[in-house]
Amino acid sequence: MMTETTAIMAALSTLPPPQLSDLNFSILSDIRHHHRRLSAVLSSPTLFSLTLHHLHSLSLPHKTLLIARHLLSALRHLARHFHPKQQPPPPPSTATKQRDLDAVLLLLLLCEIRQHNPEALETSSPAKWREILSGLWCDAVLTISGIGFCDGSVLIPYIETVTRCWKFVGEMGCCGGDGDGKVAASPAAVVALPSVEVRGRGVECVICKEEMREGRDLCELPCEHLFHWMCILPWLTKRNTCPCCRFPLPTDDVFGEIQRLWEVLVKNTIKM
């Protein structure tokens, strides 16, 4: 069975060269922005202290949510190249604030150091961490800055970070909605659904079980299944899936949207 990293890389290999080139460019821009922010945190004693204090003030569920939002941003980068029409821009409310971005980048660096060099921090007090992390970061930054990268060497570290975040979020047992995986569809996605006119007779709305009358406007989901507007709208306020085939629509729930975008990547691997 393929690992998560291999599965995503296999899915990305199906993209045509222009799309793959665009993906690499956007990922590299993202990586460089993150490097600049992390370098700023490590080079400023005040900013480092504030960021570390912010991390210490967060509970484990809030740290998980921080990583989940970071993962969601990365998955949007990847998924929009497969189904751009089905990936609406994220609502402003889900944008990561700079303080949270600094915090999650520092948190991921701390996790990375703890995994590969645990003694580096265990023998020192938090007051010495900035100096230690700065030294380790300077040693690594030239090799991961993107200078002279080929396509694979840009994508692979990025995907590995995505899969580590995915595993962490999954291990924490987080799910969206009411706890059983049910989440509402994003209002922006619902508003964008097209209205189509019924042609022919004999088609039944699976929600109310009544025939769709010819000439009446219906709601068409991206999977092309049709429903009465008055039937599908209440449904989408509780679930983001098609009643017929379970096709998932975008959702504003962080963990629900992570699951949806992950499945987009997995399905493209299966189709290979």
> Containing domain of residue 165, as a range?
4-177+252-270
Instruction: Mark the ranges of the chain whose per-residue pLDDT is less than 50.
Output: 1, 142-151, 272
- Residue 214: which CATH number? 3.30.40.10
Query: Does any domain span residue 159?
Result: yes
Query: Does any domain span residue 242?
Result: no
Query: Does any domain span residue 113?
Result: yes
- Class of residue 251 by CB neighbours under 10 A (exposed 0-12, middle 13-18, buried 19+): buried
Q: What is the pLDDT of residues 135-168, one digit of tens each?
A: 877 766 544 444 334 445 667 778 878 888 887 7
Looking at the fold, whether 171 and 218 belong to one and the same domain comes out as no
Of 220, 218, 249, nearest in space to 236 by CA: 249
Looking at the fold, whether 194 and 62 belong to one and the same domain comes out as no
How much is the pLDDT for 200?
66
How much is the pLDDT for 171?
67
DSSP string, 198-244: --SS--B-TTT--B--TT-EEEE-TT--EE-HHHHHHHHTT--B-TT
**Structure pTM?**
0.74
Query: Does any domain span residue 46?
Result: yes
Alpha-helix runs per DSSP H in the chain: 4-12, 17-43, 45-57, 60-79, 98-116, 119-122, 126-141, 151-171, 187-191, 229-236, 254-270
Give the total number of structural domains in the chain: 2
Looking at the fold, whether 152 and 211 belong to one and the same domain comes out as no
Query: Does any domain span residue 163?
Result: yes
Neighbours of 250 (CB within 10 A): 24
Strand partners, 227: 219
How much is the pLDDT for 150?
45
Of 82, 64, 20, 13, nearest in space to 262 by CA: 82
How much is the pLDDT for 5?
73
How much is the pLDDT for 230?
92
Query: Does any domain span residue 264?
Result: yes
Looking at the fold, whether 127 and 262 belong to one and the same domain comes out as yes
Q: Which two tokens stand for residue 46?
A: 């005040």
